[in-house]
Amino acid sequence: MRPTASLPGAQAAHRTVLLHEAVDHLLTDPNGIYLDATFGRGGHSREILRRLGPQGRLIAIDRDPQAVQAAQQIADPRFVIAHAAFADFAAVLRAQGVSAVDGLLFDLGVSSPQLDQPERGMSFRADGPLDMRMDTSSGRTAAEFLATATVEQIATVLKEYGNERAAVQIAKKIVARRDAGTPITRSSELAAVAASAVRSREPGQDPATRTFQALRIHVNSELEQIEAALSQVLQVLKPGGRLVVISFHSLEDARVKRFIQAHSRAPATDRRQPFVPGLSAVFTPQLRDIARLRPGAAEVGANPRARSAILRVAQRV
């Protein structure tokens, strides 16, 4: 029988996206070892524990101290939580005496509780200090970045991470305020600056959406974290084990897609180059591309934040 476990319900403010689809693809062996590299508020971890066998094991990670505190309420001998960035998952596994796992789950992006807490400064919908850090115990806040960055540096962040067409205008206004002695320190101030600079927007989208997304990605080094994490996957994933990744915007998904393709498909050959016998490399795939899924209409209707989610699954060969 499965060990009796205390699995507190997830917070009402957070709805786990693609919950059953992700766990269905992840769990290939109920008594295996699994890593939830982005615990969040524990929706995926709790579902994994419900299905895990008595010999199974789940190691979870989160860089948000509040998420770690929530995870510590789970009293289950098969479960352990570590306070770390998901890019450091291989080191966390080594610290737990684990060299290989049967499945890795990454639920990228920001969680609903982080967005909904004004004191985190991640949302333009409520006023709060412009923090934006996922790990509130370390690193520079968004306000600290804006206090020293040049117009060019701010504009580059807004363009590259938010695809913001008005990046230069917004950056100039931010620096002008700072030079006038009123630096931006609160989310409402940043939202107002963005609104004053963005002349057109997509229907239904707030003019500050892209600015907030870009600064959050920059402050948390989110894309660098993804690249670093993916580079360690093949080191720890057992043959037959699954990589399951949920992304919420194209910059995340593009990196996951490229990684899976690079290790599951032979590189394209240039037919114009002459064939040299004995020099052609033999491609050995290390992953098999299993699935690409999107939330159904019912899930998006119940949770509009799920509309941009993409789930990708790959299996270690």
Kindly provide the b/e burial profile for residues 20-37, where b requires at least 16 CB atoms within 10 angstroms of the residue's own CB: ebbbebbbebeebbbbbb
Q: 125 near 190, Cβ under 8 Å?
A: no
Structure tokens at 193: 């600056």
Residue 114, pLDDT score: 86
Q: 107 near 25, Cβ under 8 Å?
A: no
What are the angstrom distances between the C-alpha of 303 and each of 111, 299, 307? 13, 6, 8
What amino acid is encoded at 27 in this protein?
A: L
Architecture of domain 136-219: Orthogonal Bundle (1.10)
- Please state the separation of Cα 144 from the chain's center in Å: 23
What is d(CA 68, CA 91) in angstroms, rounded to the nearest whole number?
17
Closest C-alpha among 31, 41, 34, 38 to residue 8: 41
Residue 4: strand, helix, or coil: coil
Q: What is the DSSP string of 252-312?
A: HHHHHHHHHHHHHSPPPP-TTSPP-TTTPPPP--SEEEEEEE---HHHHHH-GGGTT-EEE
Residue 281, pLDDT score: 63
Split the chain (317 residues) into runs of 10 and give each run's mean pLDDT. Answer: 36 74 98 97 96 98 96 97 98 98 95 87 94 95 98 98 96 98 97 91 84 97 98 98 96 98 83 59 91 96 93 98
Q: 123 near 212, Cβ under 8 Å?
A: yes
- The answer to pTM > 0.75 is yes
Residue 112: strand, helix, or coil: helix
What is d(CA 306, CA 299) in angstroms, rounded to the nearest whole number?
7
Kindly provide the b/e burial profile for residues 187-213, where b requires at least 16 CB atoms within 10 angstroms of the residue's own CB: bbbbbbbbeebbeebeeeebbbbbbbb
Element holding 57 (H helix, E strand): strand 57-62
Residue 2, pLDDT score: 31
Can you name the residues that pair with 316 across neighbouring β-strands?
287
Q: Where are the domains of the chain?
A: 19-112+222-267+276-316, 136-219
Q: Which superfamily does CATH assign the domain made up of 19-112+222-267+276-316 to?
A: Vaccinia Virus protein VP39 (3.40.50.150)
Structure tokens at 128: 């709060």
What are the angstrom distances between the C-alpha of 28 and each of 22, 24, 58? 12, 8, 13
What is d(CA 19, CA 21) in angstroms, rounded to the nearest whole number?
6
What amino acid is encoded at 83 in this protein?
A: H
